[in-house]
A and B are shown apart, each in its own frame.
Chain A
Amino acid sequence: MIGIPLSHILIFSLLLFAIGVYGALVRRNIIGILISIELMLNAANINLIAFSKYTSLSPATGQIFAIFVIAIAATAAAVGLAIVLALYRVRKTVYTDEVNLLKW
């Protein structure tokens, strides 16, 4: 990592985060949205690792946080896919615009 300035890494993570937010807002497929959310979490992970390397008072905390985030992302994916599967069983669709029973 020596040689790459911190700002480059931050711009990269910001781009990744922006792609994630964009994907979460415009994708129709629920699986696609879940993957976009993973991108957002990983953008935060890159930030945490980069900061722990360059600026932190206690580098270990950032790295531990990142590991916890990876674990949480896995849990969220497990719960999320289970719910998507259950939805597919009753509605036969994974597209957000076809999930429209509840509205005002």
Chain B
Amino acid sequence: MNAIESLKYFVPELILLGGAFVALTLDFFLRQKKLVGEFALLVIVLALCLAKAPTQPLPLFFGMFELDAFAHFFRYLALGAVGITILISLGYSPLQKRYTGEFYSLFLFMAFALITVAAANNLLMIFLSIEFVSLLSYLLVGFLKEDPKSKEAAIKYLLFGSVCSGIMLYGMSLLYGATGSLELPVIGNALLGAPFKPLATAAILFFFTGLGFKISMAPFHMWAPDVYEGAPTPVTAFLTVAPKALGFAVLTRVLDMIFWNFQSVWTPVLVILSILTMTIGNITAVSQSNIKRFLAYSSIAQAGYILMGLAAFSHLGRDAVLIYLFAYLMTNLGAFTVVLFVAGETQSDSLDAYAGLSKRSPMAAAMLTIFLLSLAGLPPLAGFIGKYYVFAAAIQGKFIMLTIFAAINSVIAAYYYFRIIRLMYLTPATGPAFAAPSKALTVALWTLFLSVLALGIFPSFFITRILG
């Protein structure tokens, strides 16, 4: 399909791009920077309304993008994550200074970049869109100008990310040399011949490095705790879900289109990395004393569970990845929204600030409890549905060791999630009661809270829609 014909299927993305530039311009004229944020929110809602599910896979822009049900799901995921993040940024006080207009505009660009990541069907497009997302993330992480922690997080993210994408690029150049093409389906077919096995193995490892960084898979997870702690809280909330989800989208597409014939090579690697990721994440999370760092390690562990679904590369496994990502998005954004509210009231990210939270703000404590229980995977919450699917996929694929490790890990995870809940309910409060959260935060909290409950109680309604 040529460029002009493709445009009509690309309307939400065009709106996002246009909106991002308008937001940049509005920033010059408006003194009330919140209005720019509200405008950005409007753009996201408009894009959400206009995003239509494709009836069949559409090869847009000469096959550079493949708009199928898979890409469409991630379109909703990206728009939802960006929308919620903008909403909670409106209630984040360190941002209420001069530069906030740009902040919202960067997020609109980010929404556009994330959608192109999910739809990219060409090595060039994959590289460009991933770099687009990465560059925007570096800027957003370092956004608080005077905060040395934010700057340090940005520099660590930048160096780690650039090295990993450089390695992935080298792998792409080898794939191009071996197959003479950049289009994923063509490469996949060209690799079928027997002499390519060593090369495919090398390329798989290069890809795992580049994408493993995005999804914070061990041993490429080192950056995650530092970056998540140092970044502004709304950005942390966003980074733990959206780029990670899109990393999984690319990984699924690459394994599916290029390396499907080499499953015997990458399945054992993924199984080991999955076990490693969840174990490192969970064991280190136990001893944390900063809530953002704590949630960072917990999000590394969650990536390990999602990798389980990918390792069992069956139909069920792929469905499990999508369902888990959706549940995880709601839950983690919710947990970070509460963190943002508490930090706004106490000026602290330390776990001590949560002592006796049930007395100081019963609503925040109750909601954080629900979100943590959902992260731990307790029924009847969203996280349980996701865990149920990945475990089912692993058992169906006869990955017994992997399942046992995941079960042990879930127990460790339950221990440290309950530690926070105990802290909130059984320790005496140390300060006065909180004021009610701002309107934007209230809306975000209730939306996420209700969707976590709804996904847990009426899973079939959501699952049929997620899987098309």
A-side interface residues toward B, CB under 8 Å? 17, 20-21, 24, 30, 33-34, 37, 40-41, 43-45, 47-48, 50-51, 55-58, 61-62, 64-65, 68-69, 72, 75-76, 79-80, 83-84, 86-87, 90-91, 96, 99, 101-104
Contacts and interface: CB of A to CB of B under 8 A. Distances in A.
Contacts of A47: 170, 173-174, 176-177
Contact of A86 (B142, B178, B225): B142
B195 to A, nearest CB: 14
B170 A61 contact: no
Contacts of A61: 124, 176, 181-182
6 contacts: A40-B163, A58-B181, A80-B162, A83-B142, A102-B156, A102-B225
Q: Top 9 closest A-B pairs, CB basis? A: A40-B166, A51-B177, A47-B173, A57-B180, A102-B226, A44-B169, A44-B173, A56-B180, A87-B151
A57 B179 CA distance: 8
Contact of B148 (A20, A40, A91, A104): A91
Contact of A104 (B170, B173, B176, B288): B288
A77 to B, nearest CB: 10
B221 interface: no
B24 interface: no
A99 B145 contact: no
Interface string B168-203: 011011101110111000000000000000000000
B interface majority secondary structure: helix
Contacts of B284: 104
Contact of B158 (A41, A50, A56, A80): A80
B173 A72 contact: no
A interface majority secondary structure: helix
A48 B176 contact: yes
B325 interface: no
B34 interface: no
B166 A65 contact: no
Contact of B180 (A33, A50, A55, A102): A55
Given A57-B181, A61-B182, A80-B158, 14 more contacts: A24-B159, A30-B155, A30-B159, A37-B163, A41-B169, A44-B173, A51-B177, A61-B181, A65-B124, A65-B173, A68-B124, A79-B158, A83-B138, A90-B148
B148 A101 contact: yes
B158 A44 contact: no
A51 B173 contact: yes
B230 interface: yes
B170 A17 contact: yes
Nearest to A10: B177
B177 A55 contact: yes
Contacts of B293: 104
Contacts of A20: 166
A86 B180 contact: no
B152 A102 contact: yes
A68 to B, nearest CB: 6
Interface string B283-310: 0100010000100000000000000000
Nearest to A80: B158
B139 interface: yes
B128 interface: yes
B181 to A, nearest CB: 6
Contacts of B127: 65, 68-69, 72
A103 to B, nearest CB: 7
A89 B176 CA distance: 42
Interface in B254-310: 284, 288, 293
A65 B182 contact: yes
B154 interface: yes
A102 B288 contact: no
